[in-house]
Structure formats: C-alpha cells, structure tokens
Structure 1
C-alpha cells in the first residue's frame, strides 16, 4: 500500500474547509487499527465524528504522518472492520441459572460494634454466646451474666468452630452483639451431635446470640 499523501494545508485543516468527518474518514481509511485505538477513534464513523474534538483529530492527523502509522496492505480499514462486525451472525446467549444454595448464616444486629475492629482469617477472638433451637431450647451457653464464665476463644477461619460461625465472625466488629441463624449444612449437618449434654438432632437449624468481646 502506498503512503497516502497529505492533501490539506494547515490553513484548510484549521478552517471549516475540512470537516471533522473528512478527517475521521481519512484516518479510518489509512491509519492502522492500533493507531485508531490509541486515539480512541475506532467505531462507526458517525459516532466517532460526533464524539471527537477537532483539536484531537488534528493532532491525530499530524501524528499519523509523523509516525508513519499507516495500515498495512493486508490490514482491513476501520470501515471494513465495522462492516464485517455488523455482518457477523448474532449468537444467542443462553442464560444459565446459577445454583444458589442457602446462605451459611443470617444475622440480625442487636448492638452495633465499633465498626473498625473486624476479625480477619486467623484472628484470635473472644466470644460470649447462647445457642438455642428454633423452639427456644438452649443447648449451649457461656452467658456473660454469670461472672464465672469466660469468653470462648478461637482463631477465625481455621475450622475450630462450625462453618457458619467462622463466616459470621468475619462480619462482626468488636463489641457487636448479634443474633445469628445458621443453616444445618453449615452447622452440624446430617449427623448432629447426639452425645452432647443437650443433643443436637440431625439437620438442625441453630440460632446463636453472640457478642464479640475481644479481638487480637
């Protein structure tokens, strides 16, 4: 492909004698695709003309010759690319419904925390809690109203507690109190805890009133 000649004088380019459409058409026919991408001049001609400023087009026009960034002989012009794109068959996209299971937990905040001290995976936390079934029966507690009780301490996200707890702790900030409901598959699942002081039946949804009292 022969190098295009620069037909317009500077006076013509700066005047209304050469329109934005004239310059964009010239660039689309002669500039390489990478050059057009760099100057954000790809796309349909009317759209590019509408959005481009003439100062920017003049800069691109001058740069094209300075850098010799012309398209190769075998490279389609921008107009040819757009024609081919518009002629391409439209492939219908089928939406696949995502399989969404129940959440690991749901939480109701009873008392806001400091909104700054959030556990991370591996953080050591101290927690007071009361766990009960949906009928209100308490199966475990270290209720902090009894002074002899100490917080339960464990490292978050390390599997030391049921999965629902590991996830729920990451959403709480220091000092927060919350009611957390954990689905069976993220609690004790199909096995339950039959040998606990208060047995937990299989497939039990568990509810905990939890207070995050310390964070290291």
Structure 2
C-alpha cells in the first residue's frame, strides 16, 4: 500500500497548507483524476480557488482509488497522452483506422514512493536516465531515527555523485530524482519494495520490509 506523507491530524492542522496539498496532488495524481476534480492548471490559481476540505477529500480519494501516475511521468506528459488517446478515439469514431491491439502489453508500474516538494528548483531541467547527479541527503526510519546522511558535521558537505536511473542506488531514488529540477529539495517517502525490500541492509541499520523517508536536494545535473 502506498505510504501517506501526512497523518489525518497533520492534514487538519496548519502544518499542511493548501499549497502543499495542491503540489502533492499535481505531482502524484493522474491527469484524469485532476481534471475530474478541477485540480488541473496553474498551481497558484488552483490553490487560490480551492477550499482545504475539498483538497483533503481529493487527497484521501487519491489513495483510495490508487490514482497515481506512472513513475517518472510528468503531469504535462500525462495530459499529452490523454489528449493523444482522445484524438485516436475521435478518429475511430469518425471512421478512421482503430488502433491495433498490442499483445501482452505490460501495464505501467504503480510508483512505490511519494514526493513532497520542500524547495522548488530552477524549473528548467530534470535529470534523465544516465545523467550524473550530485545530491545531499538525509535518510530516516519510520521512528524518525537518522540512519544515513552526508550533510552532518562541521565540514562543508560533499554531495553524493552517481549516474541516475542506472541502478546505482535504490529504485525509489532513481525514479524520484528523475522528477526533480536542479536545486529542488524534496521529501521522498519510499516503500520497502523500492528501498531495501525483504532483506534490509547487511549491517542491520535498515530492517527488512521497512519504508524509508529521505530529504534529498538535487545539487547539480551533468
């Protein structure tokens, strides 16, 4: 089951704003889900026109319906795919050739992580598979205990450098980082299947079947 970033109490409090909810929904939900609830559009406009109880209802429905976009698919890409699908249907209705069936097509994998944007990036570029990235990070267990970080101590932190999307890190990182802009800081809540799974880590710092939370800052993209 997909992990929720906020508890019911947090949702009802001032700790979670309308902007937080709109950002999370637009980062996570399918185009159809957002369109049906009039949540597709410029985030600032949606935030201004929406009531928080309605956003909480949409947030709850997102999990209940499991209406998440495939990992790595942006909202713009989802909207373009929906428009393309609509055009194909319109063409078939008008007498055009029906799309051919693809045998044994593999359905998109449901993301097993959630992202909450803590600081916006430059809005210009996201890393793609094979790009070299540098990140700062702090990882915590469900009880809040920090199990790993590269930003502690008095010395200037040294970012972790690796090629994203190539399996050098856990899948939740690979997929989550490819949705971030340079300079963006986000909280990634990663289910165990996209973290260290049934085995955990050999040193025992991460037990088997443990969901993890990371605060990750994408410092650079090469």
State the secondary structure of the residue aligned to 1:210: strand
What is the Cα deviation at residue 149 of structure 1? 2.5
- Alignment coverage as a number of residue pairs: 120
Unaligned runs of 5+ in 2: 1-92, 95-105
Q: How do 1:109-120 residues align onto structure 2 when only pairs under 5 Å count?
A: 109-120=117-128
**Cα-to-partner distance string for 1:118-163 (whole Å, 9 max, x where unaligned):** 1010000000000001110000000167434300000011100001
The aligned residue for residue 213 of structure 2 is 207
What is the TM-score when the length of structure 1 is the normalising length? 0.51
Find 1:194's aligned residue among 191, 202, 210: 202
> Residues of 2 paired with 1:121 and 1:135: CA distance?
32
1:128 aligns with 2:136: yes
CA shift in 2, pair 1:99/1:121, >3 Å: closer
What do the CA deviations read for 1:55-94 (whole angstroms, capped 9, x no partner)?
xxxxxxxxxxxxxxxxxxxxxxxxxxxxxxxxxxxxxxxx
Report the Cα distance in structure 2 between the residues aligned to 1:157 and 1:100, rounded to whole angstroms.
Answer: 17
Q: Is the 8 A contact 1:182 1:207 kept in 2?
A: yes
For 1:144 and 1:120, locate their aligned partners in 2 and report how far apart those are by CA, in whole Å.
28
Tell me, yes or no, if structure 1 residue 182 matches structure 2 residue 218: no
Q: Distance in 1 between matches of 2:153 and 2:112?
A: 28
Separation in 2, partners of 1:100, 1:106? 16
TM-score normalised by the chain length of structure 2 = 0.50
Residue 167 (str. 1) matches residue 163 (str. 2): no
Residue matched to 2:165: 157
Q: Say which SS state the counterpart of residue 207 (structure 1) adopts.
A: strand
Long gaps (5+) in structure 1: 1-41, 44-97
Larger-gyration structure (1/2): 1
**Mapped contact 1:104–1:163 kept (Cα < 8 A):** no
1:99, distance to aligned residue in structure 2 (A): 8.5
Q: For residues 154 and 160 of structure 2, what CA distance do their matches in structure 1 show?
A: 14
SS at match of 1:119: coil
